[in-house]
Structures are given as structure tokens and as C-alpha cells.
Structure 1
Amino acid sequence: MRILNLGSLNYDKVYHVEHFARAGETILAGEHAVFLGGKGLNQSVALARAGAEVYHAGAVGSDGGPLREQLEAAGADTRYLLQLDTASGHAVIQLAAGQNCIIVCGGANRQLTDPYIDGVLDAFGPGDLLLVQNETACVAHAMRAAKARGMQVAFNASPITDELFGYPLELADYFLINEIEGMALAGTEEKDFGAILDRLAARYKAAIILTVGAAGAYYRRGAETCHAGIFEVPVVDTTAAGDTFCGFFLAAVARGLAPADALKLASGASSLAVSREGAANSIPTWEEVQKFLAT
């Protein structure tokens, strides 16, 4: 299975703070660092480090050289990556007590066009998979165009916006979501994971992969359900945890692993990621995850 990731690429500007800034409040940051990230870049790096054959489509600005280099260093194919005469996307991330609060500015990620998407997808077909998130332009068109070519579609429903509910979600084969995104899609404010899975499984034919923080992760497709717990590690930075999970889960699916085994592998990978600071640079390799699980 070839995986085409239509994904965002951002510079992550990270600030360590005692607490998240409240409305009208000015706070001081203890430390500041800039990392390479974006949900798309993180997920492509995770896929590549997990051994998947991944191609990254998307756009960077004139400042995007390091973002392209990060993808290529991880092993992702960048032949379809555009460079536009604008600024790359970026995110402002507050870190407090191991948790994060993120603001994303789309930049070049939001300037993709339908003709560009069609040109990329013409190189793919049955047996391949398209991965999309809600951080680029043309997501709905890409989903429809991919299905028209016989591809599978994996959808990572982040961030939650009104735009997301206009997407053809019924076309997705895999939903990779966290508990907040799951609650929004299920139309509930209750953190009842079983009820969330029931509602989403009744509404969509997709396999639902729901990550729920300290409670682990769930898989549901039809009547099939499985669960994986978390691994206890010192939490340093949760920024790329979900993206690492997503990439390793899909890489495991591409290898033919059963859902329960894919969940365990992805949980191990995300546990390693949160024990390190940063986004893409915190994502482990397949070999590191295997060694971690063995010990």
C-alpha cells in the first residue's frame, strides 16, 4: 500500500509557560524554541519512520526548505510538494505541565487548488490510501477524487471547525480522532467512550480509531472492538503524540497487522514521542518502538 499524505507543514513556535494565557492576560515565557511540525509533516515523518511508503503532497512558502529537508531525511517522498511565493504555515504552542495549547496559521497550506490535487492523485489508484487532516485547503475535493480513483481514505479530524462538517465524511475508510474530536462528531458532550464509538459506528462505515489520553485507544469497525492501554512514561511534550499514533497505526495497517496489534504499536510509539520535546524530532523509528515494547 502506498500512502499519499495531503498534509500541512508548519514551523512550531513553542513557549514554556506556567499556565495557559487567559483572555486579556499577558504572561512571560520561561523558554522558547522553534521546531518543524504541522500535523501533515508529523504524520508523514511517523509513517516513514515506521517503514511505510509515504508520499507527501502539500505546500510550503519561500522559507520552507527545512520543512522539505525534514521530510526527506525521514524517508518521505517529496516529489509532489509545492513551493509557493508566500509564507509557510506556523503554529504558536504554549506548553504548561506537559500539556499544550495550539494556535495554527495556515499560510501556504491553505493555498492548494483542486487542479493541483487532481494532478497528484492521477499517479495513485486502487490499493493506495489518501491521508488528510483539516489543516489544508481542498480536503473535501481530495476525498472525493481519491475515492473516484478507487483509493482508501483515512481522515484525521483535527482541528474541529465548521468546515469539517461539510466534508464527505461518509467516504472515509478510517477515522483517526481524539476524544474531543470524537465528542464533536458524535454530537455529545459526554465523555462516554462506548457511546461515542456506538454513535460513530452507526453513522459511518469507517473504522473508528479513538484516542482517549490516559485511557488509551479504541478501535471499532462494525461489531469488532478492541482497546490498547497506555505505557507509563515521563511526559515532557504531548505536541506530536496524536500524529505519531496516526502514522504508526496506518503503517501497521499497511503491513497487514491486526487492529489490536496496530493499536498496541501506535500506543508504544506515541508514548515514546511524549517523553521527548518537540514535534517531528520526537517521533521514534520502528526499531525504537519494537525495542520499547520488548522491554
Structure 2
Amino acid sequence: MAIYNLGSVNIDHFYTLPHFPKPGETLHASDHALGLGGKGTNQSVAAAKAGAQVFHIGAIGKDDDWVRERMNSYGVDTTYVHDVAGVTGHAIINVDAAGENTIVLQPGVNVKQDAEAVLDAIDNAQEGDTLLLQNETNLQDHAARFALVKKMRVIYSAAPFDVTAVTNVISDVSILVMNSVEAAQLTSALGVTLDKLPVPQLIVTLGSKGAMWRSNETGEVIEVSVPKVTPVDTTAAGDTFIGYVAAGLDEGLTIKDAMEWASQAAALKVTRKGTADAIPTADEVAAFSA
């Protein structure tokens, strides 16, 4: 089995601040770091570090070969990451003293995915493989429809939240993933409760309170907790969780076991600064859990 991920590739700039700036306020950052990120890349790296075979489908600028090399070093197959005229997406990530973050995104070539290239990549997938999607690229609905033709599992993160993007893709999604804020935004926009969303399964991540899975086909609900840790940087915690859930399901774990494994991985991630580079491996998660 394998995981295909139509996802963003970003270069992350991290700034450590005493607090988030107020309007008109200028702050000195105590630290700056450069790293690999993007919701898509984070999820691909998480799934690969969990032990899954992962093919990333994406785009980078022509002068950023180091990004592809870094992804490869974490076990992500970048056969379908194409050089595109323009700049690699990037993010400015401010992290405060409590480990919380605010993020400003510049999408760059993430939103210049080529439809034919995306379909060519997915056409190599097998029945039962997984397609991961988020809202930091174009062509999510295009990819999801074709993935269902291939009888793949489609896991879609409704982030960054955009109600139009969600409504365009939701009918072709197997598992919809949202945090509690996104879930509230979506149900409010559509005027329905979670159990009435037109999707077979959904996961709502709840930060330090864990996560909830619901089957809208049977009404079954599963809740998992998360270990208590002292957070250093919460960036990419949700992506770590999703990548590990996808890897767990790909390995044949039950949804409950996959979510419990993913919760351990996400908890360990928030004790580290960084995004993709800081996501733990399966061995590190096992040691942490023990």
C-alpha cells in the first residue's frame, strides 16, 4: 500500500517572540530559523517517518533543489514534485513564549499545480491506496474525483479553512479532518451539525484534549486523549497527527489505534521547535510512549 499526497511545499521562516505583536508594535525576535514545511509536506514527512511509502505530488521553484533533497532524506518520494517557474511557497511563523503560533503564507507555485501531472501521478496508485489533500494547493477536487475512480481512500484536511474549497471536494472525501475551529466554521456555513455533514467519516482534532472520530454512516463515535506535555512549538502538530493516522490506516490499524498512535506523535512534536524537520520518527514515538 502507499500514500499519495497532493500537498504544499513551503520554506518556513520561524521567529521566536515574547508575545505576538499588537497593531503598530515592533518586536525584536530572539531567534530565527529556516526549515521545511507546508501542510502538505508536513503530512508527507509525518507519514514517511511513521514508516509508510509516500509519494508527494507538488511544485517548487527552480532554484530550491535543497527542498527536494530534504524531503528525500526523510523518506518521501519526490518523483512527482516538479520544478515550476516562480517561487517556492513560504511561510512566516511567529512563535510566542507559550509555544503558540501565528502564520502568514505566501503560496508561490503551490497553486500552480498542473492538472495533467496530478492525474498522471495518481494514475500510478492502486486500489486501497490513500490520497491526502489540504487547502494549500489548487486541484484538490480534481484529484479527489480521480482518486475515487481508482478506489482510493481520500483524507482531506479542511485547512486553511475555505468553505468554497470544502464544498467543492467534500462529496469525494472518505475522511474529513478539521480542528474544532474549522468544524465550527463549516457547520455554521452549511447550517448543519457534524452528524449531518455529507461525508462518511470525520475527525475533529481538539488540541491538548485529543481528537474525536465519527462515522456519519453508523453514528459510531471514538474519542482519544493526548499525553500531557509542556509545549514548545505547536506548529505542525495537526499535520503530524494526520500523517500518522494515514500511515496507521495504510498499515491496517483500526481507526482508534491509528489515532492513539498519531496522538502520541503529535504530543512529542509539540515539545520540539520546527515543522517537518521536527516531526518524530516511529521509533522516537515508541520510545516516548514507553
Tell me which interval the TM-score lies in, with the shorter structure as reference length: over 0.9
Partner deviation per Cα, 1:43-92 (whole Å, 9 max, x = no partner): 11100011111101100002321221121111111111101121100001
- Name 1:24's counterpart in structure 2: 24
- Name 1:5's counterpart in structure 2: 5
Do the aligned residues in 2 keep the contact of 1:201 with 1:208 (CA within 8 Å)? no
How has the CA–CA distance of structure 1 residues 55 and 149 changed in structure 2, closer, same or farther, with 3 Å as cutoff?
same
- Name 1:218's counterpart in structure 2: 212
Give 1:80's aligned amino acid.
Y
Partner deviation per Cα, 1:104-152 (whole Å, 9 max, x = no partner): 1111111112222122122124211111100011111111121122222
Number of residue-to-residue matches in the alignment: 286
- Name 1:49's counterpart in structure 2: 49
**Aligned with 2:228 (options 224, 229, 232):** 232
- Give the distance between the partners of 2:47 and 2:259, measured in 1 at CA: 14
- Give the distance between the partners of 1:163 and 1:10, measured in 2 at CA: 23
Do the aligned residues in 1 keep the contact of 2:158 with 2:166 (CA within 8 Å)? no
1:147-158 equivalent positions in 2, closer than 5 A: 147-158=148-159
- Name 2:266's counterpart in structure 1: 270
SS state at 2:79 partner: coil
- Name 1:124's counterpart in structure 2: 125
- Name 1:81's counterpart in structure 2: 81
- Give the distance between the partners of 1:32 and 1:170, measured in 2 at CA: 41
More moved, 53-62 vs 117-126? 117-126
Partner deviation per Cα, 1:169-190 (whole Å, 9 max, x = no partner): 02110112111111112117xx
SS state at 1:223 partner: coil
TM-score between the two structures when normalised by the length of structure 1: 0.92
TM-score between the two structures when normalised by the length of structure 2: 0.94
- Name 1:203's counterpart in structure 2: 197
- Give the distance between the partners of 1:263 and 1:227, measured in 2 at CA: 9
- Residue 163 of structure 1 and its aligned partner are, at CA, apart by 3.7
- Residue 200 of structure 1 and its aligned partner are, at CA, apart by 2.6
- Residue 162 of structure 1 and its aligned partner are, at CA, apart by 4.4
Partner deviation per Cα, 1:208-232 (whole Å, 9 max, x = no partner): 1111112111111132211111111
- Give the distance between the partners of 1:41 and 1:23, measured in 2 at CA: 31
Give 2:62's aligned amino acid.
S
- Residue 233 of structure 1 and its aligned partner are, at CA, apart by 1.5
Name stretches of at least 5 consecutive residues in structure 2 with no aligned partner.
none
Do the aligned residues in 2 keep the contact of 1:245 with 1:270 (CA within 8 Å)? yes
Which runs of structure 1 show a deviation greater than 6 angstroms over 4 or more consecutive aligned residues? none
Give 1:209's aligned amino acid.
I
Do the aligned residues in 1 keep the contact of 2:5 with 2:131 (CA within 8 Å)? yes
- Residue 203 of structure 1 and its aligned partner are, at CA, apart by 1.8
SS state at 1:262 partner: helix
Name stretches of at least 5 consecutive residues in structure 1 with no aligned partner.
189-195
Give 1:114's aligned amino acid.
A
Identity of aligned residues (%): 40
How has the CA–CA distance of structure 1 residues 165 and 75 changed in structure 2, closer, same or farther, with 3 Å as cutoff?
closer
- Give the distance between the partners of 1:67 and 1:172, measured in 2 at CA: 29
Do the aligned residues in 1 keep the contact of 2:208 with 2:228 (CA within 8 Å)? no
Do residues 252 (structure 1) and 248 (structure 2) align? yes
How has the CA–CA distance of structure 1 residues 42 and 165 changed in structure 2, closer, same or farther, with 3 Å as cutoff?
closer
SS state at 1:186 partner: helix
Give 1:134's aligned amino acid.
N
CA root-mean-square deviation: 1.7
- Residue 166 of structure 1 and its aligned partner are, at CA, apart by 4.0
SS state at 1:168 partner: helix
- Name 2:61's counterpart in structure 1: 61
SS state at 1:187 partner: helix
- Give the distance between the partners of 2:202 and 2:208, measured in 1 at CA: 18
**Aligned with 1:281 (options 252, 277, 284):** 277
- Give the distance between the partners of 1:91 and 1:149, measured in 2 at CA: 33
- Give the distance between the partners of 1:163 and 1:102, measured in 2 at CA: 21
- Name 2:180's counterpart in structure 1: 179
- Give the distance between the partners of 1:166 and 1:113, measured in 2 at CA: 22
- Residue 25 of structure 1 and its aligned partner are, at CA, apart by 3.0
